[in-house]
Amino acid sequence: MAYLELNNIYKNYGQGDSETEVLSNINLSIEEGEFVAIVGFTGSGKTTLVNLINGLIEPTKGEVLFKGKPVSGTSHERGVIFQNYSLLPWLTVEQNVLMAVKEAFPKREKAVWKRKAHYYIEMVGLTPAINKLPKELSGGMRQRVAVARALSMKPDMIIMDEPLGALDALTRGTLQDQILNIWEKDKRTALLITNDVDEGIYMADRIIPLRPGPNATLGPEFKIDIDRPRDKTELNDNENFKQTRNAIIEYLMDIGEERKAKATEEILLPELTPIDFVK
């Protein structure tokens, strides 16, 4: 039995005439300890998929099973890094992380909470900004706070919605490694939503494209058979990496073309003849 299972998921938004089916017939199963990445175009329903898994919303049809049990509501077992960071603006970096630690480990002492919080803040390199409010941080720093907050709860499965989008390449690399470290060390299960194919290949065991919405559905999966730990610089020369990368990008370009073709079909251009000024 899979660790996380999505069976024939459909999700509609809106009611009546304005009802749209954002996700259709999503089937996904993730094994324990696996690292799966989902890549997709903007607006295709990635965040919707994430919220279905973490329990913030319910599917219109189908079922989400976590450890064999249907998901109902959120749980500390599934940690989330939100796409828009969702830090509480009236709390400092430390307080934002502490709040999560306290909820995840309610029976510990205050000193333990603090130590845990500081450990994760240090890990994302934000110790100098520990007493700052979110509005005093850059976008990338905010994202790192969100990463620290999610990891500090020690979830069994970690769900990341484009967690590193606003970071520069260097910080991005370090954080990718840190997330991988934690995933490997504690044998977590991870689901990563990303728009960066290279990031997906570097981090995940499998990459699954989400086809553009509405009626978005999952495409064929691409297995990444590259040994861990993976080395970023060597990766570029790895034949396997090159092949997989090309295959995924080709697939994405194809569905991108399809989408474009669909879009142009719907737009009827008015029949106008341009006036010729140069006679």
Ligand X SMILES: Nc1ncnc2c1ncn2[C@@H]1O[C@H](COP(=O)(O)OP(=O)(O)OP(=O)(O)O)[C@@H](O)[C@H]1O
Instruction: Kindly write out the interface string for residues 211-240 of this chain, putting x where it contacts ligand X by CB under 6 A and - elsewhere.
Output: --x---------------------------
Under the binding rule (CB under 5 A), the answer on residue 47 touching Mg ion is: yes
Q: Which residue has the tokens 């484009």?
A: 162
Contact status: 256 vs ligand X (CB under 6 A): no
88 binds, among ligand X, another protein, Mg ion, none (CB under 5 to 8 A by kind): another protein
Comparison of 54 and 244: residue with beta carbon closer to Mg ion = 54
Q: By CB under 6 A, is residue 83 in contact with ligand X?
A: yes
Asked whether the CA dihedral 47, 51, 56, 61 is positive or negative, the reply is positive
Token pair listed for 155: 């979830």
**210 and 46 Cβ atoms separated by less than 8 Å:** yes
Based on the shown chain and the rule CB under 6 A, indicate whether residue 43 belongs to the binding site for ligand X: yes
Looking at the Cβ atoms of 48 and 96, the one nearer to ligand X is 48
Burial of 166 (0-12, 13-18, 19+ CB in 10 A): middle
Cβ-based neighbours of 241, under 8 Å, separated by 6 or more: 201, 226, 235
Letter string b/e over residues 242-267, b meaning 16 or more CB atoms within 10 A of that residue's CB: eebbeebeebbeebeeeeeeeeeeee
Interacting partner of 43 out of another protein, Mg ion, ligand X, none (Cβ under 5 to 8 A depending on kind): ligand X
Which region among 37-45, 223-231, 234-242, 253-261 touches ligand X (by CB under 6 A)?
A: 37-45
In the complex, the residues that contact another protein under the rule CB under 8 A are 54-56, 73-76, 79-80, 82, 84-90, 99-100, 103-104, 133-135, 142, 153
Q: Which is nearer to Mg ion, 47 or 176 (CB)?
A: 47
From residue 45 to residue 74, the character string flagging contacts with ligand X as x (rule: CB under 6 A) and all else as - is xxxx--------------------------
Cβ proximity to ligand X: between 44 and 176 the closer is 44
Bond prior to 70 in cis (omega within 30° of 0): no
Tell me the three-class secondary structure of 154-177, residue by residue: CCCEEEEECCCCCCCHHHHHHHHH
